[in-house]
Amino acid sequence: MKKLRLILWPFAVVYDGITRVRNFFFANGVFQEREYDFPVIGVGNLSVGGTGKTPVVEYLIRLLQDRNQIATLSRGYGRKTKGYLDVLPENSATEVGDEPLQFARKFNQIQVAVCEKRSLGIERLREKNPVPEVILLDDVYQHRHVKPGFLVMLTAYSDLFYSDFVLPAGNLRESRSGAARADVVVITKCPLELSKSEQDKIKGRIAQYTEAPVYYAGIAYGMPAGVDGQLSWDVLKTEPITVVTGIAKPKPFIDYLDRLGLDYEHLEFGDHHTFSPAELKALDGKNRILTTEKDYVRLHDKLNNAQLYYLPIAVQFLENAEAFDNSVLRFTEGHSRT
């Protein structure tokens, strides 16, 4: 790995230079950043994939949906369409992307849209009736033509940004200094028993790049669910199952299943994978399939639903959840920075 990194290092230096110049131009007004006089919250990360943006966006939806008219706006990664689209529960993932479709099917009180150009997407959403009072931008950290009033930066515990390098030598989309733009930093996918000393160590390293408050969050898993409701783990432990993952970093998901002692075959695909007819046919012959919630969105209308289950997940803050919530609510109620 170190040898490969050395080979790729010259390309990383060039890429880093390009992104630094780009960020300099935005910071100094050469490139325009559009700001808004209503609450726009951005969720993103410095690295490529796998930081757990979707459950964090869902956490924010649950926090805000009873207080405000909410809309989410995503690029719609993996969709075959272009431009602005309102996302409806009856859409397919190929039309609108798997994550926006998941939002639309889970939260019927909110508006969900996709658009590559976020400024256009925001304009279109603000034409709706009712007008969204708060817009959540998914995966927006490097989309700098729009400037969220409150920016949540995520970094996964297993791949902390301060130990990483820019592409292609590492996984960072821009240099570590980009963390300075964050209003809050959330360390995602933490062990729920993460010690206070380890938290302090991480916080000290992050303080080299940003003064933003740091929060620690793990993953809370629910019971397997499908079209017929929940399924007990006892049932799944009595028979071999097929586990299907098409996400960037499935290790926490797989580690959880291993801790439960399940007997399974793991079929691993790339993030946002589009399943071919041959793959779907092979999966349809399986007795019982357990997958991630994001993959379920892409598979449930293509397979025999009676045998397809997903594992719900949610963000679980290790501590100070109320402080995180209050920082978000102060912004939405008064447009103030933390």
Are 179 and 325 found together in one domain? yes
Query: Does a structural domain hold residue 122?
Result: no
Query: Residue 209: what pLDDT?
Result: 98
52 is in an annotated binding site: yes
Strands 313-317 and 214-221 turn out to be antiparallel
**Total domains present in the chain:** 2
Residue 336 has pLDDT above 50, yes or no: no
Check whether 274 has a pLDDT greater than 70: yes
pLDDT of amino acid 337:
42
Q: Are residues 266 and 307 in the same domain?
A: yes
Residues 6+ apart with CB under 8 A from 288: 236, 239, 240, 241, 242, 307, 309
Does the annotation list 49 as a binding residue? Answer: yes
Q: What is the pTM of this model?
A: 0.94
CA–CA distance, 77 with 172 (Å, rounded to integer): 18
- The residue range of the domain holding 165 is 2-68+133-218+317-334
- What pLDDT is recorded for position 240? 86
- 106 against 49, higher pLDDT: 106
Residues 162 and 284 in one domain: no
Same domain, 211 and 259: no
Domain presence at residue 194: yes
What CATH code is carried by the domain that includes residue 307? 3.40.50
Residues 39 and 180 in one domain: yes
Mean pLDDT of the chain: 94
Query: Within this chain, do residues 164 and 211 fall inside the same structural domain, yes or no?
Result: yes
Residue 39 lies in a domain: yes
State the pLDDT at residue 142.
96
What is the pLDDT, as a whole number, of residue 1?
59
Tell me whether residue 102 is in a domain.
no
Confidence band for 29, pLDDT divided at 50, 70 and 90? very high
Confidence category of residue 304, pLDDT binned at 50, 70, 90: confident
- Mean of pLDDT values over 164-175: 96
Please spell the DSSP secondary structure of 295-316, one letter per residue: HHHHHTTTS-GGGEEEE-EEEE
**50 annotated as belonging to a binding site for a ligand:** yes
Same domain, 189 and 233: no
Is position 63 within any domain? yes
The annotation status of 54 as a binding-site residue, yes or no, is yes
Q: 227 and 303 in one domain?
A: yes
Q: Would you say 53 is a known binding-site residue?
A: yes
288 in the same domain as 146? no
Q: Looking at the structure, do residues 173 and 253 belong to the same domain, yes or no? A: no
Please report whether residue 144 resides in a domain. Answer: yes
